[in-house]
Amino acid sequence: MKNLWKRSVDRFGHPKVYCTLFLMLLLVTAFFLKQNIIGLIATSFVRIAQNSVLVLAMVPCIISGSGPNFALSIGMICGALAGCISIELDMMGMPAFLTAISLSIPIAVIAGLLYSVLQNRVKGDEMTVGTYMGYSIVSLMCIGWLIIPFKSPEMIWAIGGKGLRNTIALSGRYDKVLDKLGNITFMGNVIPIGTFIFFGICCFLVWLFLKSKTGAAMLAAGDNPKFAAASGINVDKQRTIGTVLSMVLGAIGILVYAQSYGFIQLYTAPLYMPFLAISAILIGGASIKKASIGNVISGVIIFQALLSISLPVINGLLPVGNLSEVIRIIVQNGVILYALTKAGGAE
Amino acid sequence: MNAEIKIENKKNEKLNVLSILSKYSVPLLFTLICIAGAVLSGLTPKHIIGDVILRLDRNLFLVIALIIPVLAGMGLNFAIVIGAIAGQIGLIIIKFMDVGGVPGILLAFALATPFAIVFGFGVGKLLNKTKGREMITSLILGYFANGLYQLVFLLFIGTIIPVNNPEMMLPGGIGLKNAFDLDLIKYSLDNILDFNVMGVKIPAFTFILVALLCVFLQFIVKTKLGQNFRALGQDIHIADVAGINVDRTRVIAMIMSTVLAAWGQIIFLQNIGTIQTYTAHEQAGMFAAAALVIGGATVTKATIGQAIVGTILFHTLFTVSPSAGKNLFGDAQIGEYFRSFIAYGVIAMSLFLHAWQKNVAARNKEKLEQ
């Protein structure tokens, strides 16, 4: 037994083992509380699909050697902006969603390029600088959302007639366009197959990219920058590619999130969202230096299932405040802390 | 090769000019922004000065709590949130014991201190495991501690910790309310000695405390311990070779910072007079760091003067920006977003400049070695 424990911890890492155990404990508790387990699992599926692409966005950044992208909120803002533009153009359904995605890509590429100019000057401190860069861009864009001259009455404040609303409802626009695409109903619960397929395609593309020549160079640059530079790889360029790719995936990710959630959230909403994605991939077994698609998939499943199941179960056990939110804070930041200590000092 | 070094040196010089400029330009730039904001806001000077003095009274102690870790080369200690938590624990306990006035606040200081020492010890130990990444670790650690704090005061109070006070607890008897008043100690420090200057209340006693803290810091810097802090701040390897117990010194720096932050938070809350149980501490680290940096401090250098100047500038900006935003754009919200952008942006800029200089220095060293 002790051997099995040690082996599994060695193989999967502490966060994954503990979170899985906690998840099982929650499921058992739910069973004893006579809660609708299948319903709980179905809700988790929706949330897993919702967050999947955002977690995937961490992979290129970690692989290229600049650590988890704490400034992913910049990419999310690009996505949200594109989402608003597609509503402003008065588009609906799938075309609106696809327009939003194709608009978000160039915006995120530009933002990613600008950001990597900064990032390549602060090697070793990307996380700290990135966090505060993300925070400052989010608060700068708060002013932006107020003064960008959008006209669509669906999006601007009814009173005053200018400035975007905090949350923009997507019903009638592209609410759940992916979720509804080929969804199946299982015992009264909807499983968002369309979003999973979209996530699968994204994963496949990233995997394909990593297998390409550029991808291999990126891996080498991230793995050992000095060695890579000596063998003729332009490390800065590889890091730039990784960051841009991460920002683009972040932009697409927030649009996937929005269509599933049914709202685009603006203003301070993206402020802490990168941490959610980071802790998901870390739970999946990634470190701040290594990540894989497998880490993304297992991480997002475990973390989001944990979050969505903990809410009803803990409220069923102890109807005290928002205890499940507290658990989210502890798990999320605990996992990041663990990864930071695991990585050791810079020297 | 020689030519290359020369070019690098030239670049270095340029960077030095840039760094000197940036050192003095930050407070100057913010003075200009503050003056412009003050004019635009249309507030009377008396109002602004009164407000700034009030905010200095609340925040200066917390800002000064950041100085020691900077000296010891640990960067901006965002984990003073944890110190603030210790301070709040002290206040919550005296509220339960119902001890008010000056004895109450002294008791709060006394109760918060052991918590702060233990927490500071823990933070220091953890930061020793993440040398070179102290700031991101302390930031995340602050968030993590916030989670634990909420767990304790939402769930453990009334269950594991057997207390009962319907006025402070949630209706179910478990967990503290989101907010409660601190009338029993409100202004109890400020009012020990205060006087009015042309209608502006000056809480002299709190400022005397701050002055004592400054004297204490000056004293510490001159002692052996202070020299050790500074040696660590200069170069951790050389300090290690010179026989300084690096890890222990860093833990001491964290303990001091955390204890000072706990006291600072108590001073802050005795002036505010209510405590938002679950959110009062959240922004402590960020606002204090922003104030320090606006005063011209960097991640590696901070003085008491910079802390004071920075706090004055930052809080002037805080006072004037909503009204200025309203007069300029017809929307007070813009001013509020602007000030949070300034707070985050100035920290981001400072972190960026520091990391950039570190990178350039490392590259130069490498080139010279080759």
Q: What is the pLDDT of residues A305-345, one digit of tens each?
A: 988 888 888 887 777 667 888 888 998 999 899 888 887 55
Contacts of A142 in chain B (CB under 8 A): 337, 340-341
* Angle, vertex CA B152, rays to CA B151 and CA B156, nearest 5: 105
Residue B20's pLDDT is: 65
Rg (CA), chain B: 22
Does B348 lie at the interface with A, CB-CB under 8 angstroms? yes
* Nearest CA among B342, B350, B362, B344 for reference residue B34: B342
Model pTM score:
0.88
Mean pLDDT per block of 10 residues along chain B (370 residues) reads 50 62 74 86 85 88 91 88 92 86 89 94 91 88 92 84 78 80 80 75 85 91 89 85 88 93 91 85 86 85 89 88 81 81 85 83 79
pLDDT at B264: 92
Q: How many CB pairs under 8 A join A and B?
A: 141
pLDDT of residue B23: 60
Q: Which residues of A touch B343 (CB under 8 A)?
A: 139
Do residues A33 and A313 touch, judged by C-beta distance below 8 A? Answer: yes
Q: pLDDT-based confidence at A191, cuts 50/70/90?
A: confident
**Would you call B344 and A136 a contact, using CB atoms and an 8 Å cutoff?**
yes
DSSP β-bridge partners for residue A164: A156
The percentage of chain A sitting over the pLDDT mark of 90, rounded to a whole number, equals 29
For the segment A88-129, what is each residue's pLDDT rounded down to a tens digit? 888 888 888 899 999 999 999 999 999 999 888 888 888 889
Non-local CB neighbours of B171 within 8 Å, separated by 6+ positions: none
> Could you tell me the CA-to-CA distances from A206 to A135, A197, A202, A293, B250 in Å, in that order?
27, 14, 6, 8, 43
Spell out which chain A residues touch chain B, with contact meaning CB-CB distance below 8 angstroms.
70, 118, 121-125, 127-129, 131-133, 135-136, 138-140, 142-143, 146-147, 163, 275, 318-321, 323, 326-327, 329-330, 332-334, 336-337, 340-341, 343-347
Which pLDDT band, with edges at 50, 70 and 90, does A347 fall under? very low
Q: Average of pLDDT values for A137-146?
A: 90
Closest CA relative to residue B273, chosen from B64, B119, B115, B57: B57
More confident residue, A294 or A9: A294
Give residue-wise pLDDT tens across range A68-82: 999 999 999 999 999
Tens digit of each residue's pLDDT (9 = 90 or more) over B273-319? 888 888 888 888 888 988 898 888 888 888 888 899 999 998 898 88
Chain mean pLDDT for chain A? 86
pLDDT tens digits for range A279-290:
999 988 888 888
Determine, for residues A329 and B133 on separate chains, whether the beta-carbon distance falls below 8 Å.
no
Q: Look at B133 and A143 and tell me if their CB atoms are within 8 Å.
A: no
Average pLDDT of span A35-55:
87
Q: Which residues of A touch B133 (CB under 8 A)?
A: 127-128, 340, 343, 345-346
Contact B344 A139 (CB under 8 A): yes
What is the ipTM, given to two decimal places?
0.88
* CA neighbor of A329 nearest in space, from B78, B127, B145: B145
pLDDT at B263: 93
* Between B311 and A175, the higher pLDDT residue: B311
Rounded alpha-carbon distances, angstroms, from residue A130 to A122, A138, A156, B282, B288: 10, 12, 30, 20, 19
Q: A192 falls in which pLDDT band (50, 70, 90)?
A: confident
